[in-house]
A and B are shown apart, each in its own frame.
Chain A
Amino acid sequence: MMKDNIPKLLKDSIEQNTLDIDIITKKLKLPWLKLDIKLDIPNKDYIRELTSNTDWRSRWNYPDLVADSYQVKGWNGDVFFGPTDWKKFLNEANKNNNEHNHDGDSKCRWLRQELDYDWYVDPDHFLRQQIKNFLPNDRDINLVNTFHLPPGGYVFPHRDYAIDGMGLAKIYIALKWGDGNTFGMYGCGNIPIKEGDVFLLNNYTLPHWVHNGSDDDRIVLDISANLHSPIIKEKVIQAFKRSFC
């Protein structure tokens, strides 16, 4: 065959060039990929729980503690899986905050091997059960939190920064997402999210913003996870193939 007469470097490259999860998620700087993952819709009791959050900004020690400051309106959330010693976690994570306030996902990824992490809810909790279907090993989870945005709420255009230079990293699940909601990504239009969709987002490369223009609460589940975990890895590669191959 013709391949026998070509240099080994070229031959190996041709024959062994498989899809690489690190190249796809870290190097390409893709804005998003839609993952083929399905979650059940939470019942009313869980919806109520997911909208009665603690003060998200205070929890993360954001410097601007005014909940309705110029940049955000009504934005809130709660943590369901993360570091068990939250104070110690924040102290360690903020040591790296030299030039930018790295986002929560990034901080939790960074310290995953150094600190203890666990669920904040019982094993039979709806979210925990749902997430177990595609992330069965807790060691592969860095952070599970919700983002709640009431009608008229927004987060101003901004760019997040990661300690570890990630691109696609945020598993973003639209648990409750009525018509009129937007997630804009600069230069890419709005992310085509519908209720129940699961996306892998890159919030580190481009400015982005969210607005709830619907008349109902918007609830998003945000998961930072090991993208090499078997099911997620397969879903990411499958999504990449669907989009580009």
Chain B
Amino acid sequence: MKIRIDIECLYKNTKPVCIFYSADSSVSKTLSSKSSLEIDLALRQKDRINIDFVNKDDQDDNVVIIKKMIVDGIDLQHFIYKGCFTPRYNTEWYEEQKPRPPVVYSPCTELRHNGVWSIDVTIPIWKMMMEEWTNDER
């Protein structure tokens, strides 16, 4: 399925590298300051779109910021805030932190550590979005 992801990155020299994957397929991309990526991921009826930030450079302090995700031609709009970021902290940095930083961030669209941002999706996307609204009891 065609997925467009608009991403902005902060970096000095180390361009962020991310692996985009679902249950059955993956693709790796080196990002620039502003990227509008067109990727093709096989998606099952219930699946998870993952973005794994794999080359965090603590000296460079490169950052990946997810701005927009369009799946099957449909902008997920504010539903991208349902995504979760599970960082893989630098062990040395982690040991210095008091209190300990969270295991998972949500909502989160800024990846400031190595780790995986993921969002659950169901196909068809339009119906998934309708169900999200319908079941929103806040």
CB-CB nearest in chain A for B136: A159
A206 to B129: give the CA distance in the assembly, Å: 11
Q: Which of A200-219 contact B (CB under 8 A)?
A: 205-207
Known: A159-B136, A207-B133, A207-B134. 6 other contacts (CB 8 A): A70-B75, A71-B77, A158-B133, A159-B134, A207-B129, A207-B130
Min C-beta distance of A198 to chain B, whole Å: 26
B98 at the binding interface (Cβ < 8 Å): no
1/0 contact string of A42-77 vs chain B (CB within 8 Å): 000000000000000000000000000011000000
1/0 contact string of B119-138 vs chain A (CB within 8 Å): 00000001001100110101
User: Chain B's interface: helix, strand, loop or mixed, by majority?
Assistant: helix
Min C-beta distance of B72 to chain A, whole Å: 15
**Total contacts A-B at CB 8 Å:** 25
| Contact indicator A186/B134 (Cβ below 8 Å) | yes
CB neighbours (8 Å) of A100 from chain B are 138
Q: Which of A131-189 contact B (CB under 8 A)?
A: 157-159, 186-187
CB neighbours (8 Å) of B138 from chain A are 99-100
Min C-beta distance of A158 to chain B, whole Å: 7
CB-CB nearest in chain B for A98: B138
User: How many residues does chain A have at the interface if contact means C-beta atoms less than 8 Å apart?
Assistant: 12
A187 to B130: give the CA distance in the assembly, Å: 9
Min C-beta distance of A236 to chain B, whole Å: 24
A70 to B78: give the CA distance in the assembly, Å: 13
A205 to B126: give the CA distance in the assembly, Å: 17
User: How many residues does chain B have at the interface if contact means C-beta atoms less than 8 Å apart?
Assistant: 9
User: Chain A's interface: helix, strand, loop or mixed, by majority?
Assistant: loop
Min C-beta distance of A186 to chain B, whole Å: 4
CB neighbours (8 Å) of B77 from chain A are 70-71
Q: Which of B30-88 contact A (CB under 8 A)?
A: 75, 77
Q: A99-B138, A100-B138 known; A157 and B75 CB under 8 Å?
A: no
A86 to B127: give the CA distance in the assembly, Å: 38
A-B contact pairs, 21 of them (CB 8 A): A70-B75, A70-B77, A71-B77, A99-B138, A100-B138, A157-B126, A157-B130, A157-B133, A158-B133, A159-B136, A186-B130, A186-B134, A187-B130, A187-B134, A205-B134, A206-B133, A206-B134, A207-B129, A207-B130, A207-B133, A207-B134
CB neighbours (8 Å) of B136 from chain A are 159
A30 to B136: give the CA distance in the assembly, Å: 17
CB neighbours (8 Å) of A70 from chain B are 75, 77
A187 to B134: give the CA distance in the assembly, Å: 10
CB neighbours (8 Å) of B126 from chain A are 157
A24 to B77: give the CA distance in the assembly, Å: 34
A71 to B74: give the CA distance in the assembly, Å: 12
A88 to B77: give the CA distance in the assembly, Å: 31
CB neighbours (8 Å) of A158 from chain B are 133
CB neighbours (8 Å) of A157 from chain B are 126, 129-130, 133
| Contact indicator A159/B75 (Cβ below 8 Å) | no
CB neighbours (8 Å) of B133 from chain A are 157-159, 186, 206-207
CB-CB nearest in chain B for A158: B133
A186 to B127: give the CA distance in the assembly, Å: 9
A85 to B126: give the CA distance in the assembly, Å: 40
Min C-beta distance of B126 to chain A, whole Å: 8
Min C-beta distance of B78 to chain A, whole Å: 11
List the 10 closest A-B pairs by CB distance, nearest first. Answer: A207-B133, A159-B133, A186-B130, A207-B130, A99-B138, A206-B134, A207-B134, A186-B134, A70-B75, A157-B130
